[in-house]
Structure 1
């Protein structure tokens, strides 16, 4: 899978329950604007905040609705391997293209423990498994040697999402794993890394701003393919500016959710799952200013 894979937020009603109708509308808007794939129940999708039953009920509605219009990855990782396998197989049954699996968190694991976790999940599936490296939230990086071993020994481990602050790690996994393994894909995550990662050989990006301003990432990705330097520069600078959104609140998915509402559902209330409420009185105004600035720059073309 190549291109811009949007990690969608999970939109909620005012009582904190999942709003299926609004989530479907958001996904339609992303597909209409050219994203190449969707991630459900990732970090932006608040996967730790929902019970297994809630996740399954959500997937039962959303995966058939998307159908084969666009490839879908489902975030299924966690700290209980049986639950990870259970949810991964459930996603497989509903037609997901693959699963995006974070390494176990809270306790640090040895290389062998981490390898065993991913191996056991991959062996339980017929669909593809993508590793999810996000050390700032798990407390531990997936070591390169573990990624190498998994990619060599398990054919359905097909790539990795690298949510890391340094491009050096992304280049390393491209050079030492992707270039040495058939059909292994590396995806950048932070928006400002999209261009550098593409030039280094990444397959695409799973970046936060693509859920509320997908055109910018899609246009940049397409411009790289066409080697259109003017478009590359313009969209890259916008993505770099959008990185400010990650620093507005410690729970960055809140700002993503507010941005989605400002872009797509301006007149609808924002739903939260306690305790992850909007605790900053001016956060909504700051997010609105970001969307408005881009909207003004495009002279109203977004709407």
Structure 2
């Protein structure tokens, strides 16, 4: 059974807030070596929303060079300025990214007609593959399956969607509506614990953040699907269900993922963009306990 697990890579900073490209490279290499199928940089887990454009370009250049086509590389190019999106997207694609991923406009809520116009314009101006990024909890807008089908029919370079919704009802409708007409359209869930449901419903897998911390668990789960190993699939689901508690230690959860990567020797610092909080000693104890329970060091 086909399945894929992509990592929405966190962005690692030094304590002074500058990019820590040494640690970032270790993160990318670890993800690839442990069997992750692809990497998304500058998604929500990367804190792109608090990074200046020049820093985003620097990260994009570094990711393209370091990943070097070893796995699929998608770069998030979301912005509230359409011309920034098209310019940055075409830059990333020209430099060697495999695709870009774009949120709908946020702050105000937009209906189906506005979203159709939005992605229609972007798809006409961007010269390469585009993934739509649906994240209604953070944007206030949910892109409906019928709109996604319209866009995918209109533009062959709109090739997939990351659907970050807690329950699977919206993702199931996407799979039924879009894949029934365009089977090659890729539909990924945005939460780790929806991975198996996504695959079983006919989707393509997930782009989910626990893979930063436990890529070997995620890759083993994918292998179980590819091998039709029911016991392995169940083990993967149960392990991920327990590890989902990492998301609940702190809100926002990004400092916890960074601290976990630091504990695993990948990150030198768990510093985030201002005003992202730091993980605490109490957080560290809970992270250690969760990882130890899974035999992860």
Point out where structure 2 has 5 or more consecutive residues left out of the alignment.
none
For 2:158 and 2:13, locate their aligned partners in 1 and report how far apart those are by CA, in whole Å: 32
| Alignment correspondent of 1:29 | 30
For 1:279 and 1:72, locate their aligned partners in 2 and report how far apart those are by CA, in whole Å: 29
Displaced runs of 4+ in structure 1, greater than 4 A?
none
| Alignment correspondent of 1:68 | 69
Offset of 1:281 from its aligned partner?
5.0
SS at match of 1:99: strand
Point out where structure 1 has 5 or more consecutive residues left out of the alignment.
296-301
For 1:65 and 1:220, locate their aligned partners in 2 and report how far apart those are by CA, in whole Å: 26
| Alignment correspondent of 2:222 | 221
CA separation of 1:2 and 1:37: change in aligned 2, threshold 3 A: farther
| Alignment correspondent of 1:171 | 172
Offset of 1:264 from its aligned partner?
2.9
Offset of 1:280 from its aligned partner?
4.7
Contact residue 262 and residue 291 of structure 1 kept, 8 A: no
| Alignment correspondent of 2:269 | 269
Q: Please identify, of 56-65 and 131-140, the stretch whose mean Cα deviation from structure 2 is larger.
A: 56-65
For 1:15 and 1:34, locate their aligned partners in 2 and report how far apart those are by CA, in whole Å: 32
| Alignment correspondent of 1:191 | 192
For normalisation by structure 1, the TM-score amounts to 0.93
Counterparts of 1:114-193 in structure 2, within 5 Å, are 114-193=115-194
Contact residue 146 and residue 177 of structure 2 kept, 8 A: no
For 2:265 and 2:88, locate their aligned partners in 1 and report how far apart those are by CA, in whole Å: 29
For normalisation by structure 2, the TM-score amounts to 0.95
For 2:127 and 2:212, locate their aligned partners in 1 and report how far apart those are by CA, in whole Å: 28
Offset of 1:81 from its aligned partner?
0.8
For 1:286 and 1:79, locate their aligned partners in 2 and report how far apart those are by CA, in whole Å: 37
Contact residue 26 and residue 264 of structure 1 kept, 8 A: no
Contact residue 13 and residue 269 of structure 2 kept, 8 A: no
For 2:293 and 2:279, locate their aligned partners in 1 and report how far apart those are by CA, in whole Å: 24
Contact residue 263 and residue 291 of structure 1 kept, 8 A: no
For 2:88 and 2:3, locate their aligned partners in 1 and report how far apart those are by CA, in whole Å: 24
| Alignment correspondent of 1:246 | 247
1:147-197, Cα deviation, whole Å (9 max, x unpaired): 111011110101111110111111110011122114201001211111111
| Alignment correspondent of 1:287 | 287
Counterparts of 1:85-104 in structure 2, within 5 Å, are 85-104=86-105
Contact residue 8 and residue 41 of structure 2 kept, 8 A: yes
